[in-house]
């Protein structure tokens, strides 16, 4: 739940005046804890993995673990800095991770649905609040250049306020 909530550029937390770089720290920490916990959890079932691999609970757990490890490996500084697109696009494996965990752990389903619902609502708020409402200024700067200034969306205007 907290890992999804701390996803980068999350508009709800931006309105709470939590800076983007601070959210990235929380997101990375929670991601590391999630993957480490999944690895430790799976270590307790290694002896049963090959025998019971036909059982859906093992398949979905293994799929979630692979998605988590894939995201983690591509998030290592070396990969992230040299192959940013790989890092960026690999994070869409979180969809596979969420689906696999949902199918793997019945007890976690209410928490997963809550997190996914919250994330979806937050994305809707983010999309609606970041679209320009009206043009406030159009000014010709050069022969082929125009300066267009848009009204700041409400949530962005709140975020910029530093009391």
Q: What is the pLDDT along the chain (163 residues), one digit of tens a residue?
A: 555 555 655 556 555 667 777 777 888 888 889 899 999 998 888 877 777 777 888 889 989 999 999 999 999 889 889 998 998 898 889 899 999 999 999 998 998 898 888 888 877 877 776 665 665 667 788 888 888 776 665 555 444 444 4
Distance CA 152, CA 41 (A): 46
Instruction: State in Å, rounded, how far the first CA of the chain is from the last one.
Output: 30
Contact assessment for residue 64 and residue 41, using Cβ atoms and an 8 Å cutoff: no
Contacts of 62 (CB under 8 A, 6+ apart): 42, 49, 53
**What's the pLDDT at 69?**
94
> What's the angle, vertex CA 75, arms to CA 102 and CA 89, rounded to 5?
70
Distance CA 63, CA 65 (A): 5
**What's the pLDDT at 162?**
45
Distance CA 61, CA 42 (A): 8
**Burial level of 61, CB count in 10 A (0-12/13-18/19+)?**
buried
**What's the pLDDT at 148?**
79
């Amino acid at each position: 739940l907290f890992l999804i909530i701390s996803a980068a550029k999350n508009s709800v937390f931006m309105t709470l005046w939590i800076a983007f770089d601070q959210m990235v720290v929380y997101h990375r920490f929670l991601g590391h804890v999630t993957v480490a916990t999944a690895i430790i959890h799976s270590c307790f079932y290694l002896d049963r993995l090959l025998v019971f691999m036909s059982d859906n609970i093992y398949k979905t757990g293994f799929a979630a673990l692979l998605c988590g490890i894939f995201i983690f490996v591509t998030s290592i500084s070396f990969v992230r800095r040299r192959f940013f697109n790989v890092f960026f696009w690999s994070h869409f494996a979180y969809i596979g991770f969420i689906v696999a965990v949902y199918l793997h752990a019945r007890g976690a389903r209410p928490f997963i649905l809550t997190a996914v619902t919250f994330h979806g609502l937050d994305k809707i708020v983010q999309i609606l609040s970041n679209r320009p409402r009206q043009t406030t200024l159009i000014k010709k700067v050069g022969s082929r250049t125009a300066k267009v200034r848009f009204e700041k969306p409400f949530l962005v205007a709140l975020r910029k306020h530093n009391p």
